[in-house]
Structures are given as structure tokens and as C-alpha cells.
Chains A and B, each alone.
Chain A
Amino acid sequence: MSRKELLSKIGLRQDGRRAEELRRIRCKLGVFTQPDGSAYLEQGLTKVLAAVYGPHQVRGGRSKAQHDAAIINCQFSMAVFSTGERKKRPRGDRKSTEISIHLHQALLAAVKVELYPWSQIDVYVEVLHADGGVFPACVNAATLALIDAGIPLKEYVCACTASLANNNVAMVDISNQEETLGGPVLTVVALPMSAKIVHMEMSQRFHLDHLPKVLNLALQGCKDIKAILDDVVRQHVKDIGSSTGWSQTNRKQ
């Protein structure tokens, strides 16, 4: 068969993964010194940087400020060299604006905004390398940056994509190659601990009967990602804590 298949007969994908396997996720908290919180996340080849400023006074007039909650300001931007073909503009196009809005929606569900009335939290994400699943990577990186900034969250907010291969088998964490080969892509942003869905988006079509299968796999992906992020956060806090000698506090007395 000349056309490339999303899933081979022995159940391997184009890049050698199994259907329910995530790409390698590597991340780091506190990459920059100036923002209040920052994080870097690599999901396969997709690379994203996130920075959080705030909570601080509302910028640009107080008309936007809310008396009972903080406002979250998101900006999504893609480096001009992040895609195979050079982009003309890093931000301001429709796709970037749409992703900014979705990111805002996702973060609003997790951040305890009611704790910071009359204030603003800025979340900026910058894509350095786009290789499929850009939006989920942005959500995951933004979560880490918010944690690094010490902003209270209800719980982790994680995002993951899933697709349907050969009109039968659900696949998780779609790469750029698989996106271009065709097939539907379901993007889910979830609060994995309470298993709530914050945002869901689907492109192309498949039969409704397949939806539970694909959705469950995407949710499982969110849970797996949450476990990975949680490990990194714990390790980061441990590293920071031990360098300030917190484990010694009991012994000294």
C-alpha cells in the first residue's frame, strides 16, 4: 500500500510508539530569573517556554479589574523559526489569538482567582519548536510556570490529544507527522485528579460510537502527564529546599 498508515499491522505508529504511548516529556521549572514563575517543557520535539508575572496590579486602567477575582491575561506566541516553513509573524494571527483564548479558558478553571481581587496574572507562552500538540504543550507548560510562581491552583490542569487510527484504534499524543497524515484530532484539557473536562475540541469527524474510547484515552493521557509533571515539581521543590537546608531544621534545635 502506497499510503502511509497511522498504525501498522503490528500496532506501531510512524515514530515507533504504541497507540497508548505518550512522547517523551522533559521539563524544568524556574528557567528564568526575571519572571515570577517560568517553565520549559519538551513533549517529543515540541518545545515550549512559559512565563508567569503576577499577581500584580491591573495594568492599563482599572476598568478591567474585578472586585472579586483576579484577571488572567494570556498571550500565545510562536517563534518565527518554530515551524518547518518560516512564519511571517510571531503572534497576532487568528490561530494564535484562538490559542490564547483557549489557554485563558483552561487556566481560569484551575487558578484560585478569588484569592486575588483587583489584580492581574500574566501568562506568556512561547513556542520554540512546533511538532504537533502545540496547544496541549502550552497548557502543561503554563501549569508548571504557575506552580513555579507559587500561585494557588485547585489542581493540575493538563492537556492531551488523541486520535483514531484505521477507524478503529484510539491513539494518544498526536505528533505533527500524524496530524499531516490525516485523521481526526481530539484535544482535551482536563483536571486529572477530579477527572473533569475543562475544554474539548475536535477536528475532522468520526462516528459518535468511537468518542468514548478516544476521550477516555485522552483523559488517561492527561492523568499520565499529570504524574510526570508532579514528579518534576516534587523534585524541583526538593532541590530548592535542600539547597536552603530545610531538612536540617529539626536537627539544629
Chain B
Amino acid sequence: MVRTKELDFPELAGLFQRMTGDEKHTWAAASTLHVLWVLYDRVLNVSPERVDDPDRDRFLLSKGHGPMAFYAVLVAKGFLEPEVLDTWTEFGSPLGQHPDRVLVPGVEISSGSLGHGLALGVGIALGLRAMGRARPRVVVLVGDGELDEGSNHEAIALAGRLGLGQLTVAVIDNGSATHGWPGGIAERFAVEGWQTATVDGRDDEALHRAFITEHAGRPLAVVAAIRQETT
């Protein structure tokens, strides 16, 4: 399953096209693209050889809708063969419109219904803590619209109070929440005791700096702001 040569960022376009048949460049508009790339290329301590290593980092795609960028990055990093992309959403394919951890190696959670990944991430962080595994990070990707689900706010408050320093949330903020978040999304996390950073969601360097910010004893929220007009 594992290839020796990893693919680079520009090659994601071709991988996208294998799923969507898209001849244009709408792949680049995928709001999660840069966050996923920076995480898998420079931040997460994961590899196809270590999908069951208890000390691996965990990436949880809570916002399971629109997983093409996720699948493309998994292919680029050797978790999946590119050929499997051609079967996307077919019966019998491991790849659907929402990812299933039972079907795809390297996919940590099955998602699709919004508002589940954060509590699962809190549970994983608590499990790692209970086992004395202080090194692995747990990174959960959510969308700003997804934060409408109240279940997130149960988990945000709990993670802050428990000081889960191993937990990081990446919030893709493309302004899709119907009623918005007055005062900004980061403030929702800050008042619960999280360390926060708000950066340009297409600026790889800024995202990288945000993800490696020291945040000992507190969970970290990185709000990746996506301005649609810059696509």
C-alpha cells in the first residue's frame, strides 16, 4: 500500500480531479486544503507505517462533508493508493462523501453528522493522559458552521476546564454559520481557557506557526480564516 515517493502540494489538483472530474481549479477553493496540507506535511507525527502506533498523533476530520481534500492529502502522503480515488462514492469503494474509519487506514474517526469530532477528540486526549502518553497531539478539524451544534460547546468548555494541552482544534472559518459568531470564533474558545490564534487559512507559514505555538496546559484553537474572494 505504501509508496516510497510522496507527492507535493501542486499534485493535489490531479488527485482531486480523479474524484470530481473537475477540469477547472475549484479544487483550490476547498476551504480545508491548506490546513490539511500543513498538518500532514509539517505538523502531525503520523505515517502510513504507524497507523496503529499508540504514540502517533491523531487527526480527526470532524467536518466530514467535502472530504476530497482529505483523501487527496492521504494519497499524497502514502496512506492510500491514487487508483482508489477513481472509485470515489461507488458501492464497495472505501471512499465516500463522508469518511469511514473502518474503511480507510489513517482515518481516525468516521464523521459526517456535525458536532461529534470535538468530544471524541477530548476523549482521545483524556485516554492518552490516563495512559501516561504525554507526547501525541490530537488535532480536530471543525467548520465555523459546525460550531452551531451545541455538542461542540459542551466539549469546548470541558477541554478548557480540564486543561487538555494535547488537544488542538483547527476551525475553518469561511463564514458559513447562518447566524454568525459576534466577537469572533476565537473568543468562544478563549473564554473557556483555550489558547487561540486566528490566521489566514491559505497562508501555509502562518498556519504552521500557529499550530506549533507553545500551549502547555491549555488546549489550542487555530482559527483559519478563509476569504472566498482570494480563491
Chains A and B are bound partners: no
